[in-house]
Amino acid sequence: MSPMATETAPANPSQSRAATPGLRPGTTEAYLVRTATYASFAVAVTLIVTKFLAWRVTGSVSLLGSLLDSSLDLMASLISLFAVRHALVPADREHRFGHGKAEALAALGQALFVGASAVALLVEAGRRIVLPRYVDAGGWAVAVMALSLVLTVLLVRYQKYVVERTGSLAISADSLHYTTDILINGSILLGLVAVVGLGWTLLDPLLAIAVSIYLFYSAWRIARTSFDHLMDRELDDEVRKDIRAIVLSHKEVRAMHDLRTRSSGMYSFIQLHLELDASLTLLQAHRISDEVERMINAKYPTAEVLIHEDPAGVGEVRATFA
């Protein structure tokens, strides 16, 4: 009954804020999402160049692992860049729910890239354990990893700000990459200091193995979130309970049923059935429905809400879920 909302929603309505406008092209939020992808691309290119030069000089396998990770971050950033551009395209005749799932597909591709880098790093670390090699010119590696750490921290802080404002899944996945990089770069930096200062050559490949394990974990987290969006998984139970409480707080609503929710990239969709007094006119029922929609949008301002009115007390076949 309620018309399509003119605003879009973040992937998780619980993250939305009362003042968050829709993510339409030309808005501040659309600008933030785009600049976050550009920043990610620029940082990835900078780190690849510096890490490659340092790896060629030092031969550090843990630095090679960080180089591989940054290379895949670059590919992931490019995927995010194109996915975000596509996801921000308004709904059209062929895609009336918008193009938000492009972000989930992009995040799934990122997970595959991260998993592939973890495999390559494990292989190289195993070879270096069997055939140990001293890390030459370690000062270069330490300086590069320190630079990587600073740039990554600055990028992640900006990405988290953008995710809070927009709920972008692609930026969230990218931020997870670089949050992982902070831990990776920090551990490698400490490890390289130990290798250079104490001569613990074996620590270098052991750190690379630890990095690869964390990469596998990150890939699994990104893939799981992507599948949830692609398979239209319901929003969190707490969000659903909150929506139900908002609806039932309206004094003219007798009950509600068939609440269904899903996410699509930066968008969320909420649909439900209202049970109203059977004696109400169609115009009165429409008024109540609009009021309930506004109540939901007051808490989740960018959600698209679809409401169907039912006369209270009329039995009907309803789907039940555990």
> Looking at per-residue confidence, does 207 or 2 come out higher?
207
pLDDT in tens, 304-313: 899 999 998 7
Task: State residue 209's pLDDT score.
Answer: 83
Q: How far apart are CA 17 and CA 107, in angstroms?
A: 24
CATH number at residue 211: 1.20.1510.10
- 280 backbone φψ class: left, alpha, beta (φ>0; ψ -120 to 50): beta
> How much is the pLDDT for 318?
67
- The answer to whether residue 138 is domain-embedded is yes
Residue 52: give the domain boundaries: 20-230
Q: Is 145 inside a domain boundary?
A: yes
- Percent of the chain exceeding pLDDT 70 equals 68
In the structure, what pLDDT confidence band is assigned to residue 7 with cuts at 50, 70 and 90?
A: very low
Evaluate whether 260 touches 135 at the Cβ level (below 8 Å): no
pLDDT tens-digit readout, 224-252: 877 777 777 778 888 899 999 999 999 99
- Looking at the DSSP bridge assignments, the partners of residue 308 are 273
pLDDT at position 97: 66
Please report whether residue 9 resides in a domain.
no
- 7-21, 24-38, 102-116, 121-135: least confidently modelled range: 7-21
71-117 pLDDT tens trace: 777 776 776 666 666 666 666 677 666 666 666 777 777 777 778 77
Residue 101 neighbours by CB under 8 Å, 6+ apart:
229, 230, 264, 265
| Domain assignment present for 41 | yes
In-domain check, residue 306: no
Q: Beta strand pairing status for 304-311 and 267-276?
A: parallel
Taking Cα atoms as reference points, which of 184, 226, 179, 171 lies closest to residue 41? 171
Residue 13 covered by a domain: no
- Tokens coding 297: 């949008």
CA 273 to chain centre: 30
* Average predicted confidence (pLDDT) for the chain: 75
pLDDT over 50 (residue 3): no
Supply the pLDDT for residue 26. Answer: 54
Mean pLDDT of 110-129: 75
Q: What is the pLDDT of residues 282-316, one digit of tens each?
A: 999 999 999 999 999 888 877 889 999 999 877 77
Is residue 128 one of the residues assigned to a domain?
Answer: yes
Other beta carbons within 10 angstroms of residue 107's beta carbon come to 28
Pair of tokens at residue 108: 């799934």
Q: Is the dihedral of CA 50, 52, 54, 60 positive or negative?
A: positive
Q: Which residue has the higher pLDDT, 91 or 322?
A: 91
Give the tens place of pLDDT for each residue, 165-178: 877 766 776 777 67
pLDDT score of 293: 93
- In this structure, is residue 24 part of a structural domain? yes
Is the alpha carbon torsion for 300, 301, 303, 308 positive or negative? positive
Task: Give CA separation, 260 vs 9, 84, 97, 172, 270, in Å.
Answer: 15, 26, 15, 24, 6
> Which pair of tokens denotes residue 251?
């004094």
Task: State how many domains the chain has.
Answer: 1
As to burial, measured by CB atoms within 10 angstroms (0-12 exposed, 13-18 middle, 19+ buried), residue 207 is: buried
- Residue among 124, 117, 138 at smallest CA distance from 184: 117
What letter does residue 13 receive in the DSSP assignment?
G
